[in-house]
Structure formats: C-alpha cells, structure tokens
Chain A
C-alpha cells in the first residue's frame, strides 16, 4: 500500500541542511515549522579519519497513522498511494494530531493557525516531479524512491 520513500545516501550528504530550507520555501512556511530534518551522529574515528553518518527524517507516512485516527475533521488523511496529508481547508488547528504522533511530525504553521506536515510535495508528484528536498538536494544525496512489491 505504502508506495513512496525518501532515501538519503549518507556518503553524499554533506550536512548542508539545504533540504530543510528547500521544503520550507516550497511550502511557503515561516520561521517555526521544519518539516524535514538532517541529523548527524557524533564524530567517530574510523581508520584514522573522524567520520559521521547523516540521517534524514520527515514523516514516516505510517501504515496505520495515529494522526489520521485522531483528527476530528477528517483533515488528516491517508491517500491511496500511502501519502499522509493535511487538507488545509478542513484543518481547524486543534493540534490533536501533534499530540498523537510519536515523532511530533505534524506542526503548527503560526501564519495560518493550521497544521502542516511532509506530504512528499504531492502536488509536485502529481505533476510528475519530485519532492522539493529531493529536486534541489545540493549533492543529489536524497532520492525519491517508489516502492515496488516483489
């Protein structure tokens, strides 16, 4: 059922945090909500070189999302292709989803008083493009992957 994934090739990631800004500018977000995040492990000596691994996190687009179950207005939805999204028209900003999500993925947009979250830039996907973070990744370290059943 779940169809998409964003994969980070840590070998190519340079920790520039561009993806976080690519996401914010595409969604027109103000200071506050950050919908995807790069994090890094503390430096560790590997064969004489201090190294680190980078990790990328946005939304897990759960199979059975708590945020959808708890939403009183049906704004939080799971689409046929597995994307968990917020219908801005229906969101009343009650923030129930924020409390329900284990990872604190949904966030309040202080400008609109409504919740925002990663939806893999579905308007772009539907137009045959890739999510903003992937399209503009400075080193092409992020990949948008379509999962296939085997």
Chain B
C-alpha cells in the first residue's frame, strides 16, 4: 500500500482554501484544512470533494455534440479528436473573422495567467469572467474611491472591534480563514452589525440586526454618513491628508438625515443613532464590508461606494483591525513569479464588450461578459464567433438563459471546459473534461495580504478517468494553434520551475507547509506617508472620482426609492447556503443528501394571506416562467421579499440527482440580461418581481388510485 500526504488547494468553491490530502494507492482517504493556516478546519463542501472525485455524473471523457445544441446527443471521442475539432474550428474562425472573434470566459481567481496568455496569444483581447453577476460593482466602486480594486485591501477582521455587513452573508460564504477571524473577533468581545432583508446564518451571530426594506442599503449608508459627519466622529487628520472633495460629500448628504434613512429603510432612527455612537468609540477599528456579491439593485454600485467612503471616514486604512493594503512580493523584497501572459504581445484589437474604449470607467482586465451578448446580437464592433467557457456556466451565473442562447446561436463554436456538466456545457458543441482539483496541478500563484505568500495546488491522485488538467489542455490546444511558444513547458514541474525562477525559491520550499511565506510579520506601510499608494488620477482618495466624471457619471448619486411590489408580488432575492457552492456542488451525492432542494422563504403574514403554511408547495411565477418549490414560512424576512438559495433548478439530464430539483432564480429573470448598473457594471439581479401562489400540488390532500 502506497500512502501519500499532499499539500494542495481545495477546489470545491472559489475560495480555494489550503488543504492537506492523504491518499492510499491513488485513492483519497482524508482531506483536511492546512494545519499551518486553518488548523485542520474544512467545510462540508471541502470534505465532499471525495464524493466529487468518485462521482461518475461528471464529464469523464471528451464529448462532441451530435444533435442540435442542447439536444443532449453526444459522441464520446478521444482527446486527439476533441482537441483537433476545437483547434480546426478555431483556425477556420480566425481565418474568416480574425482572432478577435474568439472570446474566453472563466470564474476569475489566481490562475488566470494561463488563460490570459492563451487568448492573448491567439490575438484576441476578449478575456472575460463571471464577475458582472458578482462583485463588479464592489470592484469598480473601490477603484473609483482608492484607485485600487477590491482586492487592494485585506480586512483585518480578527483585530477589529466592529464589523458591519450589508447583506454580506460572510459566515455562510465560508472562506474558512475569514469565518474564524469573525468568530475570534466576536469571542474577544467585538461587535457585528448585520443589515439584510432577511435573517441569515451570519445575522444570528450579530450584536445588532437591521432588517431593511429591500433595495434601501444605499439609503442606510447615506444616513450613517450624514450622522457621522454631523457628529464629527470621523478621522479628520486622515481625511485632510488623503481625501479630495470632502466638502462635496458634506454638501451631498445634508438632506439624507438619519430620520429620513430610518423611514426609508423601515427601521428605528434611535437604533441607527446608537450604532453611530458605537462606531464613534470603536473607530478606527471598524470595518464596513463593502460587499461581495453586489450585483443586486440598480444603485448597488453607489451603495458599495458609500460603504467604501464610510471606511475612509473611520480612518481605518492601514491600521490593525481595519483595512490593510494587500502587499505583494515586491513589498517583501522578493521578485514576482514569472507570468506567461507577460511574454505575449498585447492584442491590438479593441474589446468587443466596449470596455476600455466605449466604457472607459470599467476595468478592462476581464471587462463585462453580458456586454458581449450585445456584440453577438449586433455584430458590432465586430462579429463574435467562438466562446470558450472555463469552469464557468453563464446560464447559471447570468439571468435569462433563453436570451443568452439566442445570442449564442450566432456563434459557430461553443466550448465548455469543465469538471462538471454545466447548463452551458449541455448547450455547447464540445465538452473538454477537466480533471477535478484533486487530480490536477495548477499554476503557482501569489496570495497578497499583510503577509503575502506563494501558493500552489498539487494533484493528490492521478486522474481516475480520461480527463486532463487545464494546464495540459491549454498547452495541447496552443500547440495545435501555433502558439505553443508562449507555453514553454511539457510537464507542470517545468512550468513551476519557470514561474519560480526569478523569485529565488524552488519547489522544495513548498514541502514543509504547502506554501511559501514571504513575510514573518505583517508588512505595514507608514500610515503617515501613504502618498503614491492610492492609484486614482489625483493620487488621493476621491470622493468625486475623476474617472466617473470623465465618463459623464455622477460620483455621488441622488437616492431614488426602490419600486414597491404590486399586490400579490414580491421582490425575488437569492443567496447561498454553506452546503453548496452555487450550482457547482448541487449534484454532489453527499451534499445533495443534506440539501437536495431550495425553498422559498416568505414572510409569515404574507403566507397567511396566501393560505400557505410551512412546507406547502408554492408556484413562483414571473413573466411566463414558473417553478414550484416548498415554502419556508418565517417572521424573519421582509414583507416585500421572497428568498431562495441560488444554483438549483438544474436541467442537465445527466445530473440525475439535481435534475429539476428546486428552482433557478436566474431563469425567472426574463429580460434582465441587459439590466446593468451603468456606473458599476454589475447586473441588477434583485430587481425582479415574482408572483407567488399556493400550488394546486397539495401535501395535505393527495389521492392515491
């Protein structure tokens, strides 16, 4: 019996927690969180990785579509045939329409260097990701305030005195290190204020809970800013030194009084006042989390921006228990790891989503995926002909899959490169099966923070089926497409050595702990001299963003009250459970066993009006789309909202467990694909209203014949 212990990185969700895996004869026997960073801690998904590995309801060998798109007729082919098929089609497309007609999307994360090098190597600028349906508003809000993206700061939650969360369900989202920081902070007597339209697994640990009317986050943030300014409990010195146009903020929030905000949000003014008095004492160790998935309301960009501004008012920048600049290798006197993409000439074509030329205020790294659909439909600025999705399912991530399919029908080639069957994969022309995270090596990556480190994923076992790692697939495709020179490796070990070469570290440096720490103690900048650290055009923290002004957009947008649902209607909001990573894990046997379905949370008073009690079936209807799930009747959701966990309602027949289990919120959002926050680039995914009625499917009255 051959026993092994391997340092690696989880891949069940995109948090990518560090893990240690034990194997016996190429079988995984044990997975735990890396003892050095997580003291063994792992979540349910992390443990269920073994079930993913052993599950055969995932693509096990390459598949080429036989029937029409989505018809589900597949031919199993060899890797040679599949790669040749993809490469030949891409070559034809490039010849006819140019390389820029190819786009590639992924889920973002630390390994995108490989994918950027591939798409740029082909000569296309069209690299994109899922973030329009996730954190783009937060990211762009951060850029507009600090000139730094949302990963430019790390929140030192453990040492903070007060964590403020606006709908950020931080404990159910389960970044294990972060969750433990929150709990340690609470154990040490810290406070947590939670704002949401419903009570969540995070809110139950809070010391204060504001149940607000859906869509009024921005109002609450403005009211708090008003009160902080009125009481002058902000960091005057910090603001004088680093912030521009502070007077414009004072002027702007003048009418947004605390009483106004309380009335708008449906909470008591006195409770907000108490809160502001508390943070005045706890400051600067107060963290306003600017949000993660903030593609919610039409003003979520401005809500997030207001939260960023509140952090500035707290003066929490580069202080313990506040926001700390994310440091890289350069801050520790170490050279960066070598980048594949940096060796590739930059494509000259402009992006098809318009980012960088039509929309100058958006980050052109990944651009904005939904805008590509417009380009597909119109053929402007040029026709798009191929889409490669790497572990990204746009039909689950973005609303209105039907509208997406209509746009994709203009394309000649759809490639799904995934460990799972996704709904996009089911509709695509080719499925290239990627090995699961337990069977594949990934690039070495940098994890920035107060104590930056180099991290890596090593395969724990050899692939159990005819699957390949992303590194191999990209390399094999690149060779066929004549851009193999940008991928100077045959084995992953060669790639790793090539990446590490400038840093002076070797693979052996990862042996002890699974990562390479670049600093023993947190690296802190001199807070008295942060000049040059803010990357805005003015070099200051900008209340009025020059980039937004140049784009003709307001930096401080007047508040507009959200629409109220009509009688019998509800605003559809969605979220996540700690047991599932959205749709990725829905078909995992062990996770499905614990959470096979989603339910519709509905307020008790509203349910009573509909004659619905706990566990009854309800129809959820929106513009011709209907689904039926069980009701969860609770006091702890706002009267105007209904809630469901995202990721369910799968319609991939080969996923027999998840097939048609529960409802997919995004499928109810007909017409929402183009509803984008023009300033933040995030989609407005909580602006959909649904009708709810008691289903004729009645658990209390069913006849058996």
| A residues whose Cβ falls under 8 Å from a Cβ of B | 11-12, 14-18, 20-22, 24-26, 30-31, 34, 43, 48-52, 135-140
Contacts and interface: CB of A to CB of B under 8 A. Distances in A.
Interface in B15-44: 30-33, 39-44
Which 5 pairs between the two chains have the least Cβ-Cβ distance?
Answer: A16-B578, A18-B44, A21-B47, A21-B44, A50-B199
A31 B271 contact: no
Contacts of A16: 43-44, 172, 174, 201, 578-579
Interface stretch (B314-322, B371-379, B588-596, B690-698): B588-596
Contact of A48 (B31, B208, B590): B208
A22 B333 CA distance: 41
Contact of B204 (A12, A34, A51): A51
A45 B203 CA distance: 12
Contacts of B48: 21, 25
B30 to A, nearest CB: 7
A48 B211 CA distance: 10
B32 A43 contact: no
Contact of B578 (A17, A26, A30): A17
B578 A14 contact: yes
Given A21-B590, A22-B44, A138-B41, 14 more contacts: A14-B201, A14-B578, A16-B174, A17-B579, A18-B46, A21-B591, A21-B594, A25-B50, A30-B589, A49-B194, A49-B207, A49-B208, A137-B41, A138-B176
Contacts of B229: none
B237 interface: no
Interface stretch (B134-142, B153-161, B179-187, B658-666): B179-187
Contacts of A17: 44, 578-579, 594
B655 interface: no
Contacts of B183: 11-12, 14, 139
Nearest to B210: A48
A43 B204 contact: yes
Nearest to A24: B590
B206 interface: yes
Contacts of A48: 208-209, 271
A25 B636 contact: no
Nearest to B51: A25
Contacts of A52: 204
Interface string B554-571: 000000000000000000
Q: Secondary structure of the A side of the interface?
A: loop
A121 B40 CA distance: 16
| Range class of the B interface residue count | 35 or more
A17 B174 CA distance: 12
A20 B44 contact: yes
24 contacts: A11-B205, A14-B578, A16-B43, A16-B172, A16-B174, A18-B42, A18-B44, A18-B46, A22-B44, A22-B47, A31-B589, A34-B594, A43-B635, A48-B208, A49-B194, A49-B204, A49-B208, A50-B199, A50-B203, A135-B32, A136-B33, A136-B47, A138-B174, A139-B180
B171 interface: yes
Interface of B: 30-33, 39-44, 46-48, 50-51, 171-172, 174, 176, 179-180, 183, 186-187, 194, 199, 201, 203-209, 271, 578-579, 589-594, 634-636
Nearest to B589: A31
B182 to A, nearest CB: 9
A137 B176 CA distance: 10
Contacts of A135: 32, 40
Nearest to A16: B578
B455 to A, nearest CB: 20
Contacts of A24: 47, 590
Contact of B199 (A26, A30, A43, A137): A43
Most buried by B among A20, A25, A31: A25
Contacts of B579: 16-17
B40 A15 contact: no
A20 B594 contact: yes
Contacts of B592: 31
Given A136-B41, A139-B180, A140-B180, A50 B208 contact: no
Contacts of B31: 25
Nearest to B588: A21
A18 B635 contact: no
A43 B634 contact: yes
Contact of B206 (A12, A25, A49): A49
A40 B277 CA distance: 33
Contacts of B634: 43
Nearest to B199: A50
Nearest to A22: B47
B179 A140 contact: no
A134 B172 CA distance: 19
A14 B591 contact: no
A36 B594 CA distance: 12
Contacts of A12: 183, 187
Contacts of B44: 16-18, 20-22, 138
Contacts of B205: 11, 14
Contacts of B593: 31, 34
Contacts of A138: 41-44, 174, 176, 179
Contacts of B207: 49
A140 B589 CA distance: 25
A81 to B, nearest CB: 23
A26 B520 CA distance: 34
B578 A15 contact: yes
B41 A15 contact: no
A49 B42 contact: no
A31 B590 contact: yes
A50 B199 CA distance: 7
Nearest to B578: A16
B374 to A, nearest CB: 40
Given A17-B44, A50-B204, A26 B30 contact: yes
Contact of A140 (B41, B171, B591): B41
Contacts of B40: 135-136
B36 to A, nearest CB: 15
A50 B41 contact: no
